[in-house]
Amino acid sequence: MNNFMDPAILFFLFGVGAGLVKSNLEIPAPISKFLSLYLLMALGLKGGFALAQSGLTLEVVKGLGAALLLAIIIPLAGYQVLKKLTGPFDAAAIAATYGSVSAVTFITSVQFLDGQQVSYSGHMSAAMAVMESPAILLAVFWVNSVRTQTATTSNGQVHSLRQTLHESLTDGAQLLLLGAMLVGILSGDQGKAMMAPFSVDLFKGMLAFFLLDMGLTTAKNFPNLKGQSPWLMAYATLGPLIHSGIALMVALALQLSLGDSFLLMVLAASASYIAVPAALKLAIPEASPTLYLGLSLGLTFPLNIILGIPFYFQIAQKYVA
């Protein structure tokens, strides 16, 4: 199916349009949170069931290793570029945002592969979880170094790596994903059959409903892009393409499958707009949320959802045997 004709993508575009015309259509916050948690739970179960069948293999080790490598390389490279374009605090925050991942972009990509009837490994859900936190920890290290040099902080104390690590690893969304994956591994085929009406049959409709909400939210973030540096706008547009290219090279070096290579490219190209901004608000209060959230949600997320996913798949098809 053409990506533009996918009902979930059409609902996203509808949400953007409704937001741009200032409609009073909205999804209540508790429902939006439930949809997000449902999608993570269903994804975790799906990955767990797949891992229960495959077990711990060399492919699993390679996939998780590739994810961890990218989770370190991308924010490190991004920070070196961004600190030339803006201040150190904003540079660290943006690098962390783009060094982490978007669960919704990943879930949409999984649904895309299902539509293309292309197989992929269940451990890629775990790869997404692996890529969530390293960028945040690196950003805190950078800003604490800057604070030490200037001997000033916004609240009189340095936000420790230990504190940030605890916040990252105990984040509810990440715990739910990993917990659901563990349930899937332990329950195996029997659990898969029992949970199919919940985690399979309802999945597409729930994703479409959530993307409608994300479309409305994206439209609200468009004004945050006004007045931003064109160089930062270019980073939000071109950075994901470069990151996906790095991921493709890693995937080729490790000889990953087409489906896994594509998902690794999507993860590398995505940017967090939920977990990381929440952590950054506490860890780097000096950074502007309007900047890093506006770029990731107002520009990168819609580009990836509408154009990026089919583009990354075409590139992966071309180079992955």
Q: What is the CATH number for 47?
A: 1.20.1530.20
For residue 301, report the phi and psi dihedrals to the nearest 5 degrees: -60, -50
Length of the chain as a residue count: 321
- Is residue 15 situated within a structural domain? no
Q: How far is CA 164 from CA 133, 259, 276, 280, in A?
A: 9, 33, 11, 9
Q: How many domains does the chain have?
A: 1
- Is residue 5 situated within a structural domain? no
Dist CA 26 CA 215 (whole Å): 10
- Is residue 10 situated within a structural domain? no
- Is residue 198 situated within a structural domain? yes
> What per-residue confidence (pLDDT) applies to 46?
83
The range of the structural domain enclosing residue 40 comes to 29-319
Dist CA 43 CA 39 (whole Å): 6
> What per-residue confidence (pLDDT) applies to 153?
45
- Is residue 257 situated within a structural domain? yes
- Is residue 113 situated within a structural domain? yes
Dist CA 303 CA 298 (whole Å): 9
From first to last of its 321 residues, the chain has per-residue pLDDT tens of: 556 678 888 898 999 999 999 999 999 989 988 988 888 888 888 888 878 877 778 888 999 999 999 999 999 999 999 999 999 999 999 999 999 998 889 989 998 998 899 999 888 888 888 888 788 888 888 888 787 776 544 444 555 556 666 665 666 666 787 888 889 889 988 998 999 998 888 888 898 898 899 889 888 888 878 888 899 999 999 999 999 999 999 999 999 999 999 999 999 999 988 777 767 777 788 888 888 888 998 899 999 999 999 999 999 999 997
pTM for the model stands at 0.82
- Is residue 47 situated within a structural domain? yes
> What per-residue confidence (pLDDT) applies to 174?
67
- Is residue 8 situated within a structural domain? no
> What per-residue confidence (pLDDT) applies to 158?
53
